[in-house]
A = this chain, B = another copy of it.
Amino acid sequence: MFTELDDEHGLKLAIQQAKKSAKEGGVPIGSSLLTSVDGVVRVISASHNQRIQKNSAILHGETATLEKAGRLKADVYRNATMYTTLSPCDMCTGAIILYNIPRVVIGENANFVGGEDYLRSRGVEVTVLENQECKDLMSKFIKEHPEEWNEDIGEP
């Protein structure tokens, strides 16, 4: 199992990605996918939302991280933890369930609550870290770019 220290490390990588997206003018949501092999933590992938950068409807933080990793065998996902700066939307929730990722660590869910209950109902362990940096990144974007944010979550 990951220790609490590893969770902070995983989330830090996700926050780096969120900040990178913010600098590019994008939606500041980042993710990372980590695993532990023989006690050594390995970063499988890390990426960020690319709606604005790539005119994309499906590259959210979590899905972009899965896409960047390319094709992986089922057991890689089944021994990994997904870190994300914001509570995952229904699409990203479904992607986590599809690949049987057993654990999701969420930076914050104050600005948006996604499929946390559904993840739990499908056997995924969900941890919310209530990270202030994640909250600030997101609330700033929502305040400054309400239209882009609503588009990203399918709202008018």
Give the interface of A toward B (CB within 8 A). 51, 55-59, 63, 66-67, 69-75, 77, 89-95, 97-100, 115, 118, 150-151, 153-156
Roughly how many angstroms separate A156 CA and B77 CA in the complex, as a whole number? 10
Query: A66 — which chain B residues lie within 8 A by C-beta?
Result: 57-58
Query: How many identical subunits does the complex contain?
Result: 2
Q: Is A74 a contact of B115 with CB atoms below 8 Å?
A: no
Roughly how many angstroms separate A77 CA and B155 CA in the complex, as a whole number? 10
A46 to chain B minimum Cβ distance, whole angstroms, is 14
Roughly how many angstroms separate A118 CA and B93 CA in the complex, as a whole number? 13
Q: Is A154 a contact of B55 with CB atoms below 8 Å?
A: no
Q: Is A99 a contact of B154 with CB atoms below 8 Å?
A: yes
A143 to chain B minimum Cβ distance, whole angstroms, is 20
Query: A91-B95, A93-B94, A94-B93 known; A156 and B71 CB under 8 Å?
Result: no
Query: A57-B72, A71-B51, A71-B56 known; A154 and B77 CB under 8 Å?
Result: yes
Query: A67 — which chain B residues lie within 8 A by C-beta?
Result: 56-59
With beta carbons under 8 angstroms apart, the residue of B56, B70, B72, B154 that contacts A98 is B154
Q: Which of A59, A91, A100 has the most CB of B within 10 A?
A: A91
